Amino acid sequence: MNGHHRLRIAVYDRYWSTGGGGEKYAGGVAEVLNEDHDVTLIGHVPIDTGWLGERLNLDLDGVATLIVDECDSLESVTADFDVLINLSYRSHARNGAARGIYIVHFPDRPGADLRPWQRFLRSKLLRLSRTDRRMIKVESGFHEADTIRWQEVRWTNGDGVLDVDVPTGAEKHLQLRFGRFIPGGIDRTISVEVDGVVMATDVLRCARNRFEVVEPLLISVPVVGRIGRNRVVIRSESGSPAGILGNGDNRILGVPLVSASFSRGPVGAAVSRASLLTAVPAGTDWLQSYDLVIANSEFTRTWIQRWWGINSVVLEPPVALRVPGPKSPMILSVGRFFAPGRGHAKKQLELVRAFRALGAVADGWELHLAGGCSPEDEPYLDEVKSEANGLAVVFHVNAPGSELDGLYRRASIYWHATGLGEDLDHDPVRAEHFGITTVEAMSAGAVPVVINAGGQPEIVRSGVDGYLFDTPEDLVRFTSSVISDPVLRSAMGESSIERAKRFGMANFGARLKALVDDAGAAGPAGH
């Protein structure tokens, strides 16, 4: 670093406890910058830096932590820091530090899937609901908006507060509608207070069929205008989805508010069933609070420009390079087990089928599938295991870092198929946005045979370090070539080791420090 200032740097990520690829990047940022600055990890549940460092193969000794309520404004939380680095996936939180850096794993485009007629209907409903938006404001106790089916919802944390403006002396009925989806299907009692007085109570029951899904619970309360604005509090039980579903979502969730309006009749009915169409399209104004936007790959940079219309610089995630070891007749793939349709699925089912298609070529070889699996994804894992019956397929579910080290050292070939069979121009989020595990495997000398999509082509030079495939047939053909030719396999393995060094921590650290030096050039806040 330039040595002029020791900065107070905040590194924010909502998902520290998942220990995934995004957290690998965030933790790498913290490790590098903690050499010259005072780094604090900001999150919403206790952060065990020892566990996180072991899981991600990082040194986080001396890194501080700050735990804040999910509903607290990140802008206010970071006001005393010199630099905020926000790496939380799809966060729209504003920066409050003297300087801000926003690192994008992949951009989001709210409402992108709306069809032309839906966009037309949205424009009409937006005009009709303009008065409601002016009269009803969120004060506190609400999370950022989520989209569930046709409904944009704001989860409370158990105590959501609305600031309501009704003309003095007038009485209006506030229509509160709540979605019928609660983690674990547990019914919750809701009470609504107006200016400190409980005006209504009801029980929110989860949808029992597909018709109830789009029929929110309606609670109507009278609000009598007074001098100043009215305060409406929505109270309920609350809990963490992670504790119920094991999905890594550690937010404290109360109940999902679909809409709050004074509209009745057809407009009210439309709002209750399709609140997404009355949601103001999310913009990118919050990005103006950041001084620099960083993309994790050229693939991501392209979509940031396409969807957000802004420039960004590319800084690939840091990769802890592995130590090569004696190779075994083994193909490895690393990635969480979760079903297609849930983000960038790792396609383990398709990999097992490809291994079967190798036939006699793969005699004596094994396919090893390693990755985490939450309880809600166990049915998919069971499906993959069933497909693997009779094959030399070995599963390493929720394997510790030490076990992964051994797998990387032994693997001769590495497979990655995220995005296979998907329309990635329509839904690019289903591709791997960079591909840390591919680099890790290459650094240990495995030959990558990976999909020609997302960030993978930026890592692998096809025909030099390994191969890029477009179809399952290509995957089988290229893998057969590598298995059948030990000389080719050895040469590509050596090339992979050299190629991986480009993405190692040393190169990443030098580039990151230069970017932070520029962002923090004004010196510590208040100096």
Residue-wise pLDDT tens digits, 153-184: 889 999 999 999 999 999 999 989 888 877 76
d(Cα 6, Cα 3) in Å, to the nearest integer? 7
Question: Would the pLDDT of 251 be above 50?
Answer: yes
Q: What is the pLDDT of residues 99-123, one digit of tens each?
A: 999 999 999 875 555 556 555 555 5
pLDDT at 526: 41
Helix (H, G, I), strand (E, B) or coil at 467: strand
Q: What is the pTM (predicted TM-score) of this model?
A: 0.76
* Domains 8-109+284-317+507-519 and 330-502 belong to one CATH topology: yes
Give me the CATH topology for the region 116-278.
Answer: Jelly Rolls (2.60.120)
Encoded amino acid at 316, one letter: E
Backbone CA torsion sign across 340, 372, 442, 485: negative
Q: DSSP code of 91? A: -
pLDDT at 523: 46
Burial of 89 (0-12, 13-18, 19+ CB in 10 A): middle
Give me the CATH topology for the region 330-502.
Answer: Rossmann fold (3.40.50)
446 near 496, Cβ under 8 Å? yes
The domain spans of the chain are: 8-109+284-317+507-519, 116-278, 330-502
Cα radius of gyration rounded to whole Å, the chain? 25
d(Cα 453, Cα 17) in Å, to the nearest integer? 28
Helix (H, G, I), strand (E, B) or coil at 150: coil
203 near 196, Cβ under 8 Å? no
Contact residues for 269 (Cβ-Cβ < 8 A; gap 6+)? none
Give me the CATH topology for the region 8-109+284-317+507-519.
Answer: Rossmann fold (3.40.50)
| Maximal CA-CA distance, the chain | 87
Residues forming a β-bridge with 102? 86, 293
d(Cα 98, Cα 81) in Å, to the nearest integer? 7
**Average pLDDT of 234-249?**
76
Of 127, 134, 136, 149, nearest to 275 by C-alpha is: 149
pLDDT at 455: 96
d(Cα 276, Cα 115) in Å, to the nearest integer? 13
Q: What is the pLDDT of residues 333-383, one digit of tens each?
A: 999 898 776 666 899 999 999 999 999 999 999 999 999 888 888 999 999
Rounded alpha-carbon distances, angstroms, from residue 286 to 96, 100, 282, 312:
11, 11, 10, 15
